[in-house]
Amino acid sequence: MLTFVGYDDTFVFNPDNKDFSIYDSFHRWGEVNKCTGDPIEKILEGIPGGKDDISYFYNDCDSGVRTGLYTINVPHDLYPYWGKIEYDIAGIAWEFLSAFRLPK
């Protein structure tokens, strides 16, 4: 389970929304996936003068599952096509997803 969210997302549960936080959602997914320990936090390169882009990962979950969250200093839309984001979201997601295989 991997989620990307922009800090300035006014439509969905952005990280600054105390009442409906993306962190709550992330931790809930951690519970669903029976993750243990604290999530590993990694600060990424953010936009100068803006908030840090941060990734969080529960890497120790049931059945080899990983649960991740990227909080990025952009608005709602994370499409690279729109030129608002420097990250290759699809590439990051694919690197995450392609590490898994369904049971045969």
Partner 1 sequence: MIIITFSFCTCPLLPKKNCILLNRPWYYNLHRPHYAAMMESADADDSIMGQTNRSDRLLAITNSFLLNDHPVILHFNPLEENKPGIYIVLIGYDESQGMVYYADPKKGGYIGMIEHDRFIADYWYTSSDDTHYRWDGSWLGFYPGDGNRVPGDFKFSFHHDGYMRSYIMHIPDGIDFSSPVPLVMDFHGIYQRAAGQKKWSGFYELSENASEKFVVVFPEGIPAPGFPSRHSWNTETASGADFGQWLSYAWQVKTDDVGYVRNIIPSGRSRC
Binding residues vs partner 1 (CB under 8 A):
1-6, 9, 11-13, 20, 22, 76-82, 88-91, 93-94, 97-98, 101-102
Closer by beta carbon to partner 1, 46 or else 80: 80
Task: Quote the tokens at residue 68.
Answer: 């991740």
- CB-neighbour burial class of residue 38 (10 A; exposed 0-12, middle 13-18, buried 19+): exposed
Q: Give the CA count within 13 Å in the CB-facing half-sphere of 2.
A: 16
CB of 12 to partner 1, least distance (A): 4
CB of 77 to partner 1, least distance (A): 8
Closer by beta carbon to partner 1, 43 or else 101: 101
Closer by beta carbon to partner 1, 65 or else 93: 93
